[in-house]
Amino acid sequence: GAVVSQHPSRVICKSGTSVKIECRSLDFQATTMFWYRQFPKQSLMLMATSNEGSKATYEQGVEKDKFLINHASLTLSTLTVTSAHPEDSSFYICSARTSHSYEQYFGPGTRLTVT
C-alpha cells in the first residue's frame, strides 16, 4: 500500500517552455501533498505544501508564479514549471500523506533538464 507515482520520470525541455509534472497517490487518499527539489548530493528542499481544494503554501524563496501547483483531487497534484531555465534543472520529487499518519510516501521523482 501507500504507492505514489510521478509522471514523467524524465523530461528534457527547451529554455522558455513550460513543463507539467503529475503526482498521484494510487491506493490512498492524500490529505496533503508536498513538492521537493533535490540537487546532486544534497538533501530534499521543500518547495510547497498543497492541500486538496486549496491554494498551495510555498516556502520562502520559491516563486509561486514560476512553480504552479494544482491539487485538484485527493489523489492528484501537479507541478508546472513555467518559462523554464537551465537553473531549474533538478530532480523534483512529490510526496503525500494521509490525515492519520505523519510519514510521507514519496514518488519516484522526475529528472528535469532544461537546455
Chain contacts with other proteins (rule: CB under 8 A): 4, 6, 32, 34, 42-44, 46, 49, 57, 91, 93, 95, 97, 102-109, 111
Q: Minimal distance in Å, beta carbon 83 to other proteins?
A: 26
Q: Please compute, for residue 105, the number of CA atoms within 13 A of its CA located in the half-sphere on the CB side.
A: 22
Q: Minimal distance in Å, beta carbon 40 to other proteins?
A: 10
Is residue 114 classed exposed, middle or buried when 0-12, 13-18 and 19+ CB atoms within 10 A define those classes? buried
**CB nearer other proteins, residue 81 or residue 109:** 109
Distance CA 31, CA 95 (A): 11
